[in-house]
C-alpha cells in the first residue's frame, strides 16, 4: 500500500496527481481544484463520466465563501452548526471554479469534512480539494484505506486515516429563495435528515421549508450506484429463501450456492457504518449473492433514508411483497 504523509500528499496534489483522503463519511479521491490535470485524473482514475459533478472539500467556512458567488444566511447557519461534518451545501459557484468540477453547472457542492488528517491537509493547500469517493465509478464506496488499495493497488497514494466513522456519503442540500421564504432541498440523504436541518434553522431563527428532491447538481443520482461485485437482492420483510431461490436464480441467469443473508442492525448509525464494509466483505468471503430484507419501519424512518437510498441504487433488483419483480 502506497501511504503518504500530509506534506507528501500536498506535493502530489499540487503537481497534478490524485491522493485518496480519509473523511468521516467515506474515503475520497482528491485532486487540487486549481490543477486541471489533477481534476482530469480524478475522472480517468475512477472511470467516471464528466456529467457527474464533484464535491469540493475545504477546512473553513471562509474558504467555502470564497468559492461561492452567493452565500446565503441559510448556508451560513447550516455550516456553522454542521461543519466540520457530513453535510454538503450546494451554492452558486465563483468564476474561479473549474467547470470540470461542476459538470458545466453554475453551482458547486462544498463541504468541510470532519477528519483531522484531511483537515490538516486542507489547511496547507490553497482553495480546496475536489473529491468524489475513492472507488471505480458506480461501485461500492471505500471506508478504509484497504478498500482503496483493493480498488486501485499502488496507482493511488493514500493518506491513512483509519475507518470512516459514518460510513455513507454526506447529505447534499441546496438552498432556494422563494416568494414565501427559504427552501432547503436535500438532493442526497445522509446523516443530516430534513428534521435535523429544520431544527438547526429553527434554533437560528430562520424560517425554512426542508424537503427531499432530486437534481443533477448532486452526485450519486444515477439509478445504479454503490454496487457490490456480486448481485444484491432486496426482499420483502417476510420471505423463505427455499421458496424464492429458483425464481431468483432464473432472473439472475445463474445458480447461487452461497448467499449471504444480511439482517441490518436495529441502529441506523451502526447500519450506516457497516454498510459498505459488509457489501465488500460478502463478495471477498466467497458469497455469490447478498440478500437483504426491507423493513417497513425502517423505510418510514428519516434516520434510515440515507441507507435505503444507497441500497436501492446498489441493488440488482428488488422483489415486491407479492414476489413480483421491482427493477
The answer to whether 110 and 72 are in contact (CB under 8 A) is no
Look at residue 194 and tell me if it is in a domain: no
Q: How far is CA 120 from the centre of its chain?
A: 21
Is residue 322 a part of any domain in this protein?
yes
> Helices 268-284 and 305-314: crossing angle, nearest 10°?
20
CATH value at residue 61: 3.90.870.10
CA–CA separation, 327 and 325 (whole Å): 6
> Coil, strand or helix: which one is 238?
coil
Q: Is residue 144 located within the same domain as residue 243?
A: no
- The reply to whether 152 and 236 lie within a common domain is no
| Pair 10, 151 in one domain | yes
Write the pLDDT tens digit of every residue in 42-66: 999 999 888 889 999 999 999 999 9
> Residue 299: what pLDDT?
86
Q: pLDDT band for 209, please (50, 70, 90 cuts).
A: very high
Give the residue-averaged pLDDT of 134-138.
93
- Does a structural domain hold residue 166? no
Contact yes or no for 132/47 (Cβ under 8 A)? no
Domain edge (last residue) among 104, 132, 158: 158
pLDDT for 187-197, tens place per residue?
A: 999 999 999 99
Tell me whether residue 206 is in a domain. Answer: no
- Whole-model pTM above 0.85? yes
Split at pLDDT 50, 70, 90, the class of 220 is low
Place of cell 482530469: 40
Host domain of residue 127? 6-75+94-158
Residue at 80 is within a domain: no
Grid coordinates standing for 246? 429458483
Q: Considering 136, 158, 180, which residue would you say is the last residue of a domain?
A: 158
Is 134 in a helix, a strand, or coil?
coil
DSSP 141-189: PPSSHHHHHHHHGGGSEE----S-SS-SPPEEEEEEEETTEEEEEEEE-
Specify the 3-state DSSP secondary structure of 20. strand
Q: Count of CB atoms within 10 A of residue 54's CB?
A: 26
| Residue where a domain stops, chosen among 123, 158, 193 | 158
Structural element, H or E, at residue 13? helix 6-14
Q: Are residues 147 and 244 in the same domain?
A: no
Q: Both 149 and 15 in a single domain?
A: yes
Q: Which residues pair with 254 in a beta bridge?
A: none
How many separate domains does the chain show? 2
265 contact partners, CB below 8 Å, separation of at least 6: 271, 274
252 in the same domain as 118? no
| Average pLDDT, integer, range 302-327 | 89
CA-derived radius of gyration, the chain = 20
- Report if residue 130 sits inside a domain: yes
User: Would residue 281 count as lying in a domain?
Assistant: yes
State the Cα–Cα distance between residues 37 and 88, nearest whole angstrom.
24
Over the stretch 11-42, which tens digit does the pLDDT of each residue have?
Answer: 999 999 999 999 999 999 999 999 999 999 99
Domain-located, residue 275: yes
Amino acid at each position: 500500500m502506497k501511504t503518504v504523509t500530509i506534506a507528501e500528499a500536498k506535493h502530489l496534489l499540487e503537481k497534478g496527481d490524485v491522493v485518496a483522503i480519509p473523511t468521516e463519511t467515506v474515503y475520497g479521491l482528491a485532486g487540487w481544484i486549481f490543477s486541471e490535470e489533477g481534476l482530469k485524473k480524478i475522472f480517468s482514475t475512477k472511470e467516471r463520466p464528466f456529467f457527474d459533478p464533484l464535491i469540493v472539500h475545504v477546512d473553513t467556512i471562509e474558504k467555502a465563501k470564497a468559492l461561492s458567488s452567493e452565500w446565503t444566511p441559510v448556508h451560513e447557519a447550516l455550516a456553522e452548526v454542521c461543519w466540520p461534518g457530513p453535510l454538503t451545501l450546494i451554492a452558486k459557484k465563483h468564476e474561479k471554479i473549474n467547470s470540470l468540477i461542476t459538470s458545466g453547472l453554475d453551482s458547486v457542492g462544498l463541504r468541510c469534512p470532519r477528519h483531522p488528517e484531511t483537515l490538516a491537509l486542507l489547511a496547507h493547500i490553497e482553495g480546496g480539494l475536489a473529491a468524489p469517493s475513492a472507488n471505480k465509478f458506480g461501485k461500492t464506496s471505500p471506508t478504509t484505506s484497504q478498500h482503496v488499495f483493493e480498488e486501485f493497488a499502488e496507482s493511488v497514494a493514500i493518506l491513512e486515516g483509519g475507518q470512516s466513522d459514518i460510513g455513507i456519503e454526506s447529505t447534499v442540500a441546496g438552498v432556494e429563495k422563494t416568494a414565501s421564504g427559504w427552501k432547503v432541498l436535500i438532493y442526497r440523504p445522509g446523516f443530516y435528515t430534513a428534521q435535523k436541518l429544520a431544527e438547526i434553522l429553527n434554533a437560528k431563527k430562520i424560517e425554512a421549508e426542508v424537503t427531499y428532491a432530486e437534481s443533477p447538481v448532486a452526485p450519486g443520482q444515477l439509478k445504479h450506484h454503490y454496487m457490490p461485485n456480486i448481485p444484491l437482492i432486496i426482499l420483502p420483510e417476510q420471505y423463505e429463501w427455499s421458496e424464492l431461490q429458483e425464481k431468483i436464480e432464473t432472473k439472475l441467469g445463474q445458480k447461487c450456492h452461497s448467499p449471504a443473508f444480511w439482517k441490518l442492525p436495529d441502529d441506523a448509525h451502526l447500519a450506516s457504518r457497516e454498510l459498505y464494509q459488509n457489501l465488500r466483505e460478502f463478495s471477498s468471503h466467497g458469497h455469490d449473492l447478498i440478500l437483504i430484507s426491507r423493513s417497513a419501519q425502517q423505510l418510514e424512518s428519516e434516520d434510515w433514508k440515507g441507507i435505503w437510498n444507497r441500497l436501492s441504487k446498489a441493488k440488482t433488483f428488488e422483489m415486491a411483497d407479492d414476489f413480483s419483480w421491482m427493477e
